[in-house]
Structure formats: structure tokens, C-alpha cells
Homo-oligomer: A and B are copies of this chain.
Amino acid sequence: MTSEERIRKQKELVESTGCMYDKKGFQPTAGRIIGLLTIMDKEQYTFDEIVEELQISKSSASNALNMLEISNIIEYTTLPGDRKRYFQIKKVDKFTLVDEHRSKLKETRDFLNNVLDLKANKNSGNAILIKDLIDMLNYFLDKFEELKKDYLSQK
């Protein structure tokens, strides 16, 4: 694969990151910025480079960058005697990805507990299914923490 080919593919992947994050409820521009800072070989971009690279307006860039910073997804460093900000993705903890899913499973379990509490008949079809789901979720939520420990000790 030539270098240009590789860069072309990287840029394609940046675009598809926009779609990925769109589905997650982010604005596409924010997703593309995350993609840019993750995928390209260059790991730090200035405001103007982002505007130029993604072909977006300064206001879109300003909005998306502020949102991403507040959401703890990107950060910037500065250099003495240089007013520019150098944006980069925040290095996440190894477990952030699974932790996010764990916390969503937890929310689901809490919701289902709520639903079950409000059921008049705890033996109706839905109630039994919900009890089953809660039991399974509790098992997985427990084991998740064990898996994290096991993973670290295994290294």
C-alpha cells in the first residue's frame, strides 16, 4: 500500500467515524474531529488545521471542540509564546470502553427493578421475564469487576 493510498483510507475512516458517532447521538462534526485526532498519523491539530482538514466553518469547529472538551473527550496543550491550541484526544483508561457498557447495563437493571416493583402480579409473563433479566444482569455486573482484576493480574 502506497502512502497516499493509506492516507486516503484514513480519511475515509475519519468520515465513517462521523457516522458512527452520529448514531451515538453526537453531531457528525464532533465525530469527525474525534476520528481525525484518533486515526491520522499526526496526533495534534490546531484549530485552523481542523477547519482546513474537515472543510468546516470556524463556528462549527469552535462549537464542536468546546463540546468535546467539556465532555472530556479531547484536550489541548499550548506552547510558550504561541497562542494556538494543539488539540489531541484524551488518552482513556484501558477499561473506559467496557466500563461505559457496564454502566449502561446497570442503568437497564435499575430500570427493570423499577418496573418489577410496580407490577401488580409478580408472576405475569412480563414480570417473570423481567426477573430473569435482572438476575442475569446482576451476575454479569458482578463478574465484570472480577474480569477487570483478572485481566490486570494476567499481565
A-side interface residues toward B, CB under 8 Å?
3, 6, 9-10, 13, 20, 23, 25, 38-39, 41, 43, 89, 91-92, 94-95, 97-98, 101, 104-105, 108, 111, 114-115, 118-121, 124-126, 129-130, 132-133, 136-137, 139-140, 143, 147, 150-151, 154
Contacts and interface: CB of A to CB of B under 8 A. Distances in A.
State the main secondary structure of chain A at its contact with B. helix
A118 B9 contact: yes
* Closest CB pairs A-B (n = 3): A101-B101, A41-B120, A10-B118
A61 to B, nearest CB: 21
Given A6-B120, A105-B101, A132 B94 contact: yes
Question: How many copies altogether?
Answer: 2
A97 B41 contact: no
30 contacts: A3-B120, A6-B118, A6-B120, A9-B118, A10-B118, A13-B114, A23-B25, A25-B25, A38-B115, A38-B130, A39-B115, A41-B120, A41-B121, A41-B124, A43-B124, A43-B125, A94-B136, A97-B105, A97-B133, A97-B136, A97-B137, A98-B105, A98-B137, A98-B140, A101-B104, A139-B147, A139-B151, A139-B154, A140-B151, A143-B147
A126 B38 contact: yes
Contacts of A124: 41, 43
A98 B6 contact: no
